[in-house]
Amino acid sequence: MNLRKDIRNIAIIAHVDHGKTTLVDQLLKQSGIFRANEHVADRAMDSNDIERERGITILSKNTAIDYEGVRINILDTPGHADFGGEVERILKMVDGVILVVDAFEGTMPQTRFVLKKALEVGLKPLVVVNKIDKPQARPTEVIDEVLELFIELDADDDQLEFPVVYASAMNGTASLDPETQDENMKCLYDTIIEHVPAPMDNSDEPLQFQISLLDYNDYVGRIGIGRIFRGQLHVGEQVSLIKLDGSVKNFRISKMFGYFGLERHEIESAKSGDIIALSGLEDINVGETVTPPNAQEAMEAPLIDEPTLQMTFSVNNSPFAGREGKFVTARKIEERLNVQLETDVSLRVDPTDRPDAWKVSGRGELHLSILIENMRREGFELQVSKPEVIIREIDGKKMEPYERVQIDVPSEYSGSVIESLGTRKGEMADMTQSANGQTRLIFHIPARGLIGYSTEFMSLTRGYGILNHTFEDYRPLLNGRIGGRRNGVLVSMDKGSASTYSILNLEDRGTNFMEPGTEVYEGMIVGENSRDNDLTVNITKVKAANNIRSATKEQTQTMKRPRILTLEEALEYINEDELVEVTPESIRMRKKILDKGERDRAAKREKKKSEE
């Protein structure tokens, strides 16, 4: 069997914030591909604004380096389970994975998620214990945790014989010994060359190239990124594209790109084992196969996990609609959602019975909230409903998604966390206490029990708790309501500007969400009621201009800071009868029915229906 010993294809997988992207940075810098005077940003692979702000990877990206005559193609993948669709496709393109694990935190929920995906496709991981320079690092225990996780995930004997490298990506050092560090990462490069299998060289067979990722460029249009599994490709060549539905389209390859460092550069030809991008066909999609016209053999499409969460996106119809956004019409919003579908295989967009609303389904709250955040930054105005889990029918039974939750908290808060998850139908699977006063809790909980939980969790643990969760499986649907907000809201009865006088008068009724001077409209949510019912309030009232004054009251009254909710917090906060209005400048929460009289009549009808 011929192998291409001049090439290695690897993916880097890990839990969020365990240092994947920083590790890739160091591999790039130490390979000598940058000029001595070239400025390279930290986390160079995170090119998207939101990725940089949040310090997370959302989109998979590929790069390549040369080491001692070997081209190493590296694919950096997201760690969040919400972007698992990206991880699944990447793993089909590579022959090995680097599993990065934090030397202090050890294995975490997303470590489990990404490792499970890698083992399922038969890849052998190389383990990097990162952040070895941390004072609290515990490399030996972490390797034991990793081994236990491998066994738990049914790794075969070959996969269990994984090599280990101890590294500090931040310092650019690595070693095969946990006690010392070499001055560079040479041992990591050597371990990759030695342990990651070289791809087969079957370039004399008929072409098979599968699209795993999509990109878009204004000049050349849609770009398909993938790996050549068999044969050769040349610019100008006539090829066939086998679509997912089995139909075939013929086209000529107009441009082909290879990767080196952070650059994508034009190439004339490529062969089996190479990871490349090609352009020339408009409607190329993930999972489709490029073959010669005379040897059309499709590859199996990657299995992508189904969405677990959905929400309704609709045209903004609030009294402030059209004030702050450039794109406000149904046609523009639908076009934008269709563009997202071209590159995001985990997303679904379905029409509703209204022409100005769509049911958008994704892998989680983060997945959908980042789409909304991108849209508002691009100038869109829209309204979105509360996220709901997708209930499936399996073998005639209604089933709902369950999540595996891992929580790390100071031990004094564990009791209140256990109680709060119990009320959301969570079942505790494990509880361990460490010597440093921390408790780790493992729960299985219906996914709908986690909607809106993170805000409550942060206040229960005074911000010291760490919560991570990943999709576990589908289980029989539990009856009754789970989770949700306990308090009612303060709803504006009028249109105008929030006044300091009204805000001060409302402070004993609940929590204020408004800065003085903020414009509000009837039906807009302006605060949280301290009780469980909604309360309509006048937040625009100003003090009567009479000359009766208290000598001391005005000097002693100070206003509490308002609670300003982020997009994610607002999406978690709202109930079924509420919406989040999203514009480039504002995030507002509102009732679906703005008029109080109409709201009351609708509530009576709903109550009557439920009694029947």
pLDDT greater than 80 at residue 21: no
Please report the pLDDT score of residue 299 as a whole number: 84
pLDDT greater than 50 at residue 513: yes
In tens, the pLDDT along 287-298 reads 888 888 888 888
- The residue that leads in pLDDT, 28 or 489, is 489
Confidence of residue 50 (pLDDT cuts 50, 70, 90): very low
pLDDT greater than 70 at residue 305: no
CB-based burial of residue 122 (10 Å sphere; 0-12 exposed, 13-18 middle, 19+ buried)?
exposed
Q: Is 483 annotated as a binding residue?
A: no
Please report the pLDDT score of residue 491 as a whole number: 93
Confidence of residue 217 (pLDDT cuts 50, 70, 90): low
Confidence of residue 74 (pLDDT cuts 50, 70, 90): confident
| Max intra-chain CA distance, the chain | 97
pLDDT greater than 60 at residue 35: no
| 256-to-63, 174, 215, 577 alpha-carbon distances in Å | 16, 36, 13, 51
| 122-to-87, 92, 119, 188 alpha-carbon distances in Å | 14, 10, 5, 22
Q: Please give the structure tokens belonging to residue 409.
A: 């908290």
Residue type (1 letter), 485: R
Give CA–CA dist 583/372, Å, rounded: 10
In sequence order, the β-bridge partners of residue 282 are none
* Helices 139-152, 109-120: inter-axial angle, 10-degree rounding: 50
DSSP state of 506: H
* Contact (Cβ atoms closer than 8 angstroms) between residue 529 and residue 509: yes
Please report the pLDDT score of residue 36 as a whole number: 39
Please report the pLDDT score of residue 53 as a whole number: 42
* Helices 84-91, 109-120: inter-axial angle, 10-degree rounding: 30
427: left (phi over 0), alpha (psi -120 to 50) or beta: beta
* Contact (Cβ atoms closer than 8 angstroms) between residue 65 and residue 185: no
Write out 57-71 in H/E/C secondary structure.
Answer: CCCCEEEEEEECCEE
Confidence of residue 545 (pLDDT cuts 50, 70, 90): low
Please report the pLDDT score of residue 40 as a whole number: 41
Q: Please give the structure tokens belonging to residue 181.
A: 């560090």
pLDDT greater than 70 at residue 184: yes
* Contact (Cβ atoms closer than 8 angstroms) between residue 578 and residue 592: yes
Q: What's the count of helices (H) and strands (E) in the chain, helices before strands?
A: 16, 35
Q: Is 22 annotated as a binding residue?
A: yes
Length of the chain: 612
In tens, the pLDDT along 104-130 reads 888 876 777 778 888 888 888 999 998
**Which residues, in sequence order, are CB contacts of 34 under 8 Å at separation 6+?**
28, 40, 261
Mean pLDDT of the chain: 82
Burial 369-381 (b: 16+ CB within 10 A, else e): bbbbbbbbeeebb
* Helices 453-460, 414-423: inter-axial angle, 10-degree rounding: 160
112: left (phi over 0), alpha (psi -120 to 50) or beta: alpha
Give CA–CA dist 380/328, Å, rounded: 6
Please report the pLDDT score of residue 22 as a whole number: 81
* Contact (Cβ atoms closer than 8 angstroms) between residue 178 and residue 128: no
Cβ-defined contacts of 543-552 (< 8 Å, 24+): 543/499, 543/501
Q: Is 130 annotated as a binding residue?
A: yes
Write down the pTM of the prediction.
0.74
* Contact (Cβ atoms closer than 8 angstroms) between residue 272 and residue 200: yes
Q: Is 132 annotated as a binding residue?
A: yes
Burial 490-526 (b: 16+ CB within 10 A, else e): bbbbeebebbebbbbbbeeebbbbbebebbbbbbbbb
Ordered DSSP codes for 11-63: EEEESTTSSHHHHHHHHHHHTT-S-TT----TTTT--SHHHHHHT---S-EEE
Please report the pLDDT score of residue 55 as a whole number: 39
CA gyration radius for the chain? 27
Q: Please give the structure tokens belonging to residue 36.
A: 């001595």
Ordered DSSP codes for 410-476: EGGGHHHHHHHHHHTT-EEEEEEE-TTSEEEEEEEEEHHHHTTHHHHHHHHTTT--EEEEEEEEEEE
Please give the torsion angle defined by the CA atoms of residues 520, 521, 525 and 530, in that order, rounded to the nearest 10 degrees.
80
pLDDT greater than 70 at residue 481: yes
Please report the pLDDT score of residue 1 as a whole number: 63
Residues 245-266: what's their mean pLDDT?
Answer: 81
Residues 334-346: what's their mean pLDDT?
Answer: 82
pLDDT greater than 90 at residue 276: no
In tens, the pLDDT along 570-605 reads 888 888 889 999 999 999 999 999 988 898 898 888
Give CA–CA dist 427/439, Å, rounded: 16
CA dihedral for 572, 577, 583, 588, sign (positive or negative): negative
Cα 95 to chain center, whole Å?
A: 25
Which of 194-208, 213-227, 462-476 has the highest mean predicted lDDT (pLDDT)?
194-208
In tens, the pLDDT along 223-243 reads 788 889 988 888 888 888 888
Q: Is 267 annotated as a binding residue?
A: no
Give CA–CA dist 571/313, Å, rounded: 12
Q: Is 133 annotated as a binding residue?
A: yes
Residues 368-390: what's their mean pLDDT?
Answer: 90
pLDDT greater than 50 at residue 450: yes
Q: Is 21 annotated as a binding residue?
A: yes
Domains of the chain and CATH, by start: 7-195 (3.40.50.300), 208-291 (2.40.30.10), 399-474 (3.30.70.240)
CA dihedral for 355, 356, 362, 365, sign (positive or negative): negative
For residue 388, the number of C-alpha atoms closer than 13 Å in the C-beta half-sphere is 16
